[in-house]
């Protein structure tokens, strides 16, 4: 609807441009907005004010000329010039009434568009280290990333979602050792479990599972593991890792390591699937080492002249690309750095030919943004192809008390706990309600104890109420929508006009959400739509009105039901028929 009006206005500007009133940039200034107040019509444009200087005439005069050049249209009832030079458009009631059938015919496709032009977008999100279960902070990234992917798909982008598994490096070694030590305990050995190892009970579960499967196969002599360890706890755990590797041998260590990795990745995958988040691909960091992409990307960087050597290490000249310091990619001991993996991963992504790549990071990773962008560019890619979006942390509270979020300490609220206690729908909607760059106070007590106050129920209830009306229609043997084409001109109530306006707006909301990567706009729209519906429901009867009116109203609320379900689907929230 909006795009049709905008087209008319663009046509008029084009006309005046052809007549030499303004230069070729004028079309960019065409802007059209929904009015906040119906006194100003349905849509308003400030284009006359923006272009007045260029046309060397006053805004109101220019607005007059623009209106004269508007093409005829059935959509527009009248136009007027208001205030300093706004052009207000009043639409015909037919324009609005036609929305009902449009929604009902297009059904789950209503609101979808082709603005994405089939461009290939890859969205990478969550990507938490598989060193423990997901916590509620990851939940926010999951809910956000998945909603972005869904909204992009709806807007006509070809979307690929991916989880990057950090399954290489020291943290994973610490995980493997944590599992091994718990396993030794099960086998009756005395171990000194490092304070900076992974303390959670899930480690014991993995160890128990391993014990069942492999019996005593990895029972190394524990006494040698803990003699004369360094004082510093980081050095100490590195030494324990080394001794475990030596005692077990590379291939057995790999088995223990994979035991932890696989169980945790499976657990994360299941957890997310239950949350409604299903990735198209799980991409392994270790794979980058094995397929040579890490070496390849470093050599591309060298070929492009962005590498220098210092004290035996290879450095990327990141400062040439705006990063604050240069970065080591290959250490003097021949090991590549964690950053080198990240660079290689983005090299790999770019090679796969996506038009656009989105990285969704937790705000705690924002320090990596400039170095990743720098390396991406240094590898010869257009930096416009990559956007790194930051999701702020959810700060957890129990009542007024802040909850500590240390993963290694094992003291954290898991996503699974949250889902079990407040439900998937409430959890997803709660996350969806905040824009990603907003800090979020997540009061667990509130979310758990007062979950019926969660706005998701308000929206789902609107959907269920409509379904209930249709059920009773059948029970009472009344005429239904399949019995005839309703005459929508009978819809003359204030709430009916408001609903029509809301319905016509949905495609604009989807498009805006997609372009700005802000699915929370959908959530707020749905709250509005549900509110307008509930008011209508309270003010006017459906079943007890006379046949023709009832039919028209049923058509309207059927369209509302469809848009509610469509919108909830974009957020990964269910639309129940009864509550």
**CA nearest neighbour of 564 among 505, 495, 503, 496:** 503
Least spacing, CB of residue 365 vs RNA, in Å? 7
Cβ atoms of residues 507 and 111 within 8 Å: yes
Q: Which is nearer to RNA, 190 or 538 (CB)?
A: 538
Pairing between β-strand 327-330 and β-strand 313-316 as defined by DSSP bridges: antiparallel
Name the phi and psi angles at 467, rounded to 5: -60, -40
Which residue's CB is nearer to RNA, number 430 or number 488?
Answer: 430
Give min distance, CB of 237 to RNA, in A: 11
Whether 316 contacts 329, CB under 8 Å: yes
Residue 68: CB minimum distance to RNA, A: 19
| Gap between the Cα atoms of 244 and 257, Å rounded | 11
Q: Taking Cα atoms as reference points, which of 421, 412, 423, 451 lies closest to residue 275?
A: 423
Report the C-alpha gap between 577 and 575 in whole angstroms: 7
How far is the CA of 481 from the CAs of 93, 364, 554, 565, in angstroms? Answer: 22, 53, 7, 19
Phi, psi for residue 249 in degrees, rounded to 5: 85, 155
Asked if 422 contacts 430 with a C-beta cutoff of 8 angstroms, the reply is yes
Give whichever of 193 and 393 is closer to RNA, judged by the CB atom: 393
Across the strands, what pairs with 398?
A: 401
Q: Which CB sits closer to RNA, 176 or 503?
A: 176
- For residue 227, the minimal CB distance to RNA (Å) is 24
Q: Determine the number of helices (DSSP H) and then strands (DSSP E) in the chain.
A: 20, 15
| 220 or 495: CB nearest RNA | 495
Residue 576 sits at φ, ψ, to 5 deg, of -70, 150
Shortest Cβ 478–RNA spacing (Å): 10
For the bound state, the minimum distance from the C-beta of residue 555 to RNA, rounded and expressed in Å, comes to 14
Q: Write down the least CB distance from residue 367 to RNA, Å.
A: 3
Between 222 and 293, name the residue whose CB sits nearer to RNA.
293
Taking the complex as a whole, how short is the minimal distance between the CB of residue 57 and RNA, in angstroms?
Answer: 14
Residue 128 vs 220, nearer CB to RNA: 128
Nearer to RNA, 166 or 381 (CB): 166
458 DSSP 8-state letter = H
C-beta of 49 vs 357, nearer to RNA: 49
Spatial separation of the C-alpha atoms in residues 218 and 304, rounded to whole Å: 47
Report, in Å, the least distance between residue 355 CB and RNA.
Answer: 24
CB of 342 to RNA, least distance (A): 9
Instruction: List, as one string, the DSSP characters of 269-336.
Output: HHHHHHTT---SEEEEHHHHHHTTHHHHHHHHHHHTT-EEEETTEEEE-GGGGT-SS-EEEE-TTSPB
What is the smallest separation between the CB atom of 131 and RNA, expressed in angstroms?
Answer: 8
**Which one, 220 or 557, has the nearer CB to RNA?**
557
Cβ 285 to RNA shortest distance, Å:
9
φ and ψ at residue 181, rounded to 5 degrees: -65, -40
Q: Which is nearer to RNA, 304 or 468 (CB)?
A: 468
Distance separating alpha carbons of residues 134 and 167, to the nearest angstrom: 15
Burial status of residue 254 (CB atoms within 10 A of its CB: 0-12, 13-18, 19 or more)? middle
Phi and psi at 398, nearest 5°, equal: -110, 105
Residue tagged 């590549």 (tokens): 336
Q: Are 425 and 497 in contact (CB under 8 A)?
A: no
Task: Kindly tell me which of 160 and 435 has the beta carbon lying closer to RNA.
Answer: 435
Residue placing its CB nearer to RNA in the complex, 43 or 354: 43
- The answer to whether the CB of 352 falls within 8 A of the CB of 122 is yes
CB of 278 to RNA, least distance (A): 26
CB of 168 to RNA, least distance (A): 6
Q: How many CB atoms are closer than 10 A to CB 215?
A: 10
C-beta of 73 vs 576, nearer to RNA:
576
Angle at Cα 473 formed by Cα 469 and Cα 478, nearest 5°? 150
Nearest to 505 by CA among 522, 488, 490, 519: 522
Please count the other Cβ atoms lying within 10 Å of the Cβ belonging to residue 545. 15
């Amino acid at each position: 609807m909006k795009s049709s009006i905008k087209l008319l206005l663009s046509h008029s500007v084009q006309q005046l441009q052809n007549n030499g009133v303004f230069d070729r940039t004028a079309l960019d200034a065409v802007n059209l907005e929904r009015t906040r107040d119906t006194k100003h019509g349905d849509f308003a444009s400030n284009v006359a004010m923006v272009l007045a200087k260029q046309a060397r005439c006053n805004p109101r005069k220019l607005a007059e000329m623009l209106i004269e050049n508007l093409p005829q249209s059935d959509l527009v009832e009248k136009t007027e010039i208001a205030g300093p030079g706004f052009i207000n458009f009043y639409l015909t009631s037919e324009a609005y009434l036609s929305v009902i059938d449009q929604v009902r015919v297009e059904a789950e496709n209503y609101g979808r568009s082709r603005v994405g032009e089939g461009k290939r977008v890859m969205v990478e999100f969550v990507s938490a280290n598989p060193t423990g279960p997901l916590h509620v902070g990851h939940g926010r990234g999951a809910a956000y990333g998945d909603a972005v992917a869904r909204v992009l798909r709806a807007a006509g982008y070809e979307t690929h979602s991916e989880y990057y598994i950090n399954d290489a490096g020291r943290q994973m070694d610490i995980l493997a050792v944590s599992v091994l030590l718990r396993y030794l305990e099960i086998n009756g050995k005395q171990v000194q479990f490092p304070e900076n190892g992974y303390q959670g009970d899930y480690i014991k579960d993995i160890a128990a599972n391993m014990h069942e499967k492999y019996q005593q196969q990895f029972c190394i002599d524990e006494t040698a593991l803990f003699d004369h360890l360094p004082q510093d706890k980081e050095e100490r755990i590195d030494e324990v890792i080394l001794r475990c590797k030596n005692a077990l041998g590379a291939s057995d260590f790999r088995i223990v390591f994979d035991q932890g990795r696989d169980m945790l990745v499976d657990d994360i995958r299941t957890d997310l699937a239950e949350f409604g988040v299903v990735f198209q691909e799980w991409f392994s960091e270790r794979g980058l080492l094995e397929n040579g992409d890490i070496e390849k990307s470093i050599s591309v960087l060298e070929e492009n002249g962005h590498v220098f050597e210092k004290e035996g290490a290879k450095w990327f000249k990141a400062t040439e690309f705006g990063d604050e310091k240069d970065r080591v990619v290959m250490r003097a001991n021949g090991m590549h750095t964690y950053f080198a993996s990240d660079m290689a991963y983005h090299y790999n992504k770019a090679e796969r030919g996506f038009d656009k790549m989105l990285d969704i990071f937790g705000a705690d990773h924002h320090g990596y943004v400039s170095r990743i962008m720098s390396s991406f560019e240094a590898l010869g890619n257009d930096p416009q192809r990559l956007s790194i979006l930051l999701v702020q942390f959810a700060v957890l509270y129990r009542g007024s008390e802040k909850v500590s979020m240390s993963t290694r300490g094992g003291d954290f609220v898991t996503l699974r706990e949250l889902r079990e206690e407040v439900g998937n729908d409430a959890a997803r909607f709660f996350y969806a309600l905040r824009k990603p760059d907003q800090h979020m106070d997540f009061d667990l007590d509130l979310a758990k104890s007062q979950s019926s106050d969660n706005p998701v129920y308000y929206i789902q209830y609107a959907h269920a109420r409509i379904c209930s009306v249709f059920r009773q229609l059948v029970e009472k043997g009344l005429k239904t929508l399949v019995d005839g084409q309703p005459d929508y001109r009978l819809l003359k109530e204030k709430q009916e006009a408001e609903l029509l306006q809301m319905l016509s707006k949905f495609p604009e909301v989807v498009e805006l959400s997609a372009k700005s990567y802000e699915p929370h706009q959908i959530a707020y729209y749905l709250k509005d739509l549900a509110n307008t519906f509930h008011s209508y429901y309270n003010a006017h009867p459906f079943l007890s009105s006379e046949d023709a009116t009832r039919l028209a109203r049923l058509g309207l609320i059927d369209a509302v039901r469809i848009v509610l379900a469509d919108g909830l689907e974009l957020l990964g929230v269910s639309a129940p028929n009864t509550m």
